[in-house]
A and B are shown apart, each in its own frame.
Chain A
């Protein structure tokens, strides 16, 4: 982070030198805080106080329709985490989904970025725009479109599979196939990751590739020994975002079965379970506990990943 050099308004005919410097500095700080005030206020009202409040709620049986009956229940919400069958289901769904979707959400955009970065691709910008475009499509509309494409009877995917003699599954209605269906749907949202990967690729100095060529490295070696290490910071950044995104996964899961988690709880993602607990059953005490449990897990995961990054993430400019 660069600390900005400040520009201080100089008014003609000010006071003595010393007090002038001090006064100006104070004035500058005053202006800075004035400009920051929307965020400072917002951070207090919409982030800091709510965080403390939800931490407090997590030790209560808070229900917004019965505020008078609110009382502290000690650690019982936290104890409930460990023998909640639905929570177990939610964690298992989320982890299984993460296992397929997180790697693919890095590999697929990387491949696309390599494609649209290729010097042999004509009309690069057209391709970049087209690959990015579905990211703009509202998720609900996207779910509807994929609901059609993956329709077991009239959808194109199963008709295509039928052409090569495969009986396609009943995607959204089959507990075994609904997660892969959601992963397929997720391919439409890779635009952002693709662009960051692309700018990572473009930042690899060409001299490195030239040097590798002189040394006789083939494309495979060049890719794994130069490209991958050089773009590892971008991959790392996207890995963190993707993991957080998986824990927050909600809209798609909600839309496909109107929040029920069908078929048979196969789409009861963690965040959907949290939503149901807090806003359908209005059990906001336990809901807050679920939120904090998620926060702590995400935080630990992020810290853990930051620990591992020394082993595999290469910062060209050294770590700061």
Chain B
């Protein structure tokens, strides 16, 4: 009896030790998962700095490298790790033979050629780190990435202005005013979120073509000036959380509803407004279907998504160029995301979970 009590009192590890072990275990697991998860980015980063030959050399090291050379009597020879009786030495292969080869030791070239018995093909070649820098410039020029960036940016900014103005107005309307049918209208608004865009796509396309907007940016910008259900929802939730006393005080001073929106509501809603702006920017940067159908054939107006796609098939055989292009395209949204990730991730939780 006494023995068991002491055993219970003294487990193998104390509570504190177990806590520490749990921290180490879980964090290590997290690290492993995150490394596997982000491995493709690592691949892209490494491959973007490789030349075609370096990529084709599948037995070579992961990092961009070239076989190390040693210049012996005016000629370059590849270096190998050669096991010698006195340990492994790094030597240059001068005369390759089937069963025995002659090497020179760069540390002691005066000793002349050293004969080594064995097949040189079984030796490990020595590599040195040698990034290939040309992919970025080549991809930039071939895809005219500069122009694609400007185009995508222009569309993103203009449509962002549109969606911000209109969604703020509509959200304010839903959050602060009473009128008949409001509940129904709000339900309809929310229902449009799950409406598949395809149901409205074809007539929209026909309409924009009919008014001569086919092959222009207008269909990518103008619809955003008519508010978006997600954004209205997010902003409305935020506006509802702002105390009414402030509106009322401003109203007593004779402020109009517009004035109240601009000087009372908006200054307090910057986190939500930023989240909406970011959401829209990323969405627009990524948008594919609309530019694909409206900008078909207008290469000068292409956005990044469409411009890149044309090269994807060509680049399938040139991964170095493809990765350089992909990395350049990824850089801006990822940098923005890291800068504003707090507002952004909070915004998702608001829209995603609350009803």
Are B288 and A254 in contact (CB-based, < 8 A)?
yes
Pick the residue among A10, A123, A145 that contacts B326 (CB under 8 A).
A145
Q: Across the A-B interface, how many residue pairs have beta carbons closer than 8 Å?
A: 309
Chain B residues 201-237 with CB under 8 Å of chain A are: 201-207, 209, 223, 225-227, 232
| Chain A CB within 8 A of B44 CB | yes
Q: Is the CB of A195 within 8 A of B352?
A: yes
The tally of residues in A whose CB lies under 8 Å from a CB in B reads: 109
Contact partner, A120, options B26, B41, B352, Cβ 8 Å: B26
Q: Does A6 lie at the interface of the complex (its beta carbon under 8 Å from any beta carbon of B)? A: yes
**Cα–Cα distance between A49 and B349 once the two chains are bound (Å):** 33
> CA A39 – CA B55 in complex, angstroms?
52
Q: Say whether B39 faces chain A, with CB atoms less than 8 Å apart.
A: yes
A302 partner, pick from B194, B232, B325, beta carbons under 8 A: B194
Residues of A within 8 A of B197 (CB): 248
List residues 130-158 of chain A with CB under 8 A from any CB of chain B: 130-134, 136-149, 151, 153-156
Q: A3-B183, A50-B204 are in contact. Are A42 and B312 (CB under 8 A)?
A: no
What are the residues of chain B within 8 A of A25 when measuring CB–CB?
178
Q: A38-B170, A39-B227, A295-B198 are in contact. Are A138 and B345 (CB under 8 A)?
A: no
| Contact A140 B288, CB 8 Å, known A134-B37, A279-B293 | yes
Contact A298 B170, beta carbon cutoff 8 Å: no
Known interface pairs A138-B285, A195-B349, A199-B349; A288-B304 also in contact (CB < 8 Å): no
**Does A54 lie within 8 Å of B308, measured CB to CB?**
no
Are A255 and B312 in touch, CB under 8 angstroms? Answer: yes
In the assembled complex, B315 has its CB within 8 A of some CB on chain A? yes
Say yes or no: is B176 at the interface (Cβ < 8 Å to chain A). yes
Tell me, yes or no, whether A278 is within 8 Å of chain B by CB: yes
Most B CB contacts (10 A, CB to CB) among A120, A136, A196 go to A136
Interface centre among A51, A121, A271 (most CB of B within 10 A): A121
A146 nearest CB neighbor, chain B only: B40
- Contact status A132-B209, CB under 8 Å: no
B67 at the interface (CB under 8 A from A): no
CB of B179, distance to nearest CB on chain A (Å): 4
**A113 CB to nearest B CB, Å:** 12
- Whether B38 contacts A130 by the Cβ 8 Å rule is yes
Are A121 and B352 in touch, CB under 8 angstroms? no
A41 within 8 A of B: yes
Contacting residues, chain A, for B19 (C-beta < 8 A):
120
C-alpha spacing A195/B350, complex, angstroms = 10
- State A266–B271 Cα separation when bound (angstroms): 44
From residue 249 to 277 of chain A, which have CB atoms closer than 8 A to chain B? 250-251, 254-258, 271, 274-275
Question: Is the CB–CB distance between B352 and A192 below 8 Å?
Answer: yes
Closest to B261 in A: A35
Contact A7 B288 (CB under 8 A): no
CB distance from A166 to the nearest CB of B (A): 15
Given contacts A6-B176, A35-B172, contact A139 B286 (CB under 8 A): yes
How far is the CB of B349 from the nearest CB of chain A, in Å? 5
In the assembled complex, which residues on chain A have CB atoms less than 8 Å from the CB atom of B33?
112, 115
Taking a contact as CB atoms under 8 Å apart, the answer to whether B170 and A39 are in contact is yes
Contact across chains for A234 and B353 when beta carbons are under 8 A apart? yes
Within 8 Å of chain A (Cβ to Cβ): is B72? no
Which of B8-16, B83-91, B116-124, B329-337 faces chain A?
B329-337
Please determine whether A151 and B194 come into contact, CB atoms closer than 8 angstroms: no
- Whether B262 is near chain A, meaning CB under 8 Å from some CB there, is no
For residue B289, which residues in chain A have a CB less than 8 angstroms away from its CB?
250-251, 275
Q: Pick 25 A–B contacts, CB within 8 A, sort by A.
A: A5-B178, A7-B247, A11-B254, A32-B173, A32-B178, A38-B170, A39-B232, A50-B204, A51-B203, A54-B200, A64-B206, A118-B26, A120-B22, A130-B34, A132-B341, A133-B38, A144-B308, A155-B43, A156-B39, A199-B353, A234-B353, A237-B352, A258-B309, A278-B202, A292-B199
**Can you add 17 more A-B contacts, CB < 8 Å, to A247-B196, A258-B310?**
A4-B178, A7-B176, A9-B256, A38-B169, A50-B207, A54-B203, A122-B27, A123-B27, A133-B338, A141-B325, A154-B55, A156-B39, A188-B37, A237-B352, A275-B293, A284-B202, A292-B199
- B residues near A, CB below 8 A? 19, 22-23, 25-27, 29-30, 33-34, 37-41, 43-44, 47, 55-56, 58, 165-166, 169-170, 172-180, 182-183, 185-186, 188-189, 192, 194-207, 209, 223, 225-227, 232, 240, 244, 247-248, 251-252, 254, 256-257, 282, 285-286, 288-289, 292-293, 296, 304-305, 308-310, 312-313, 315-316, 319, 322-323, 325-326, 329-330, 333-334, 337-338, 341, 345, 348-349, 352-353
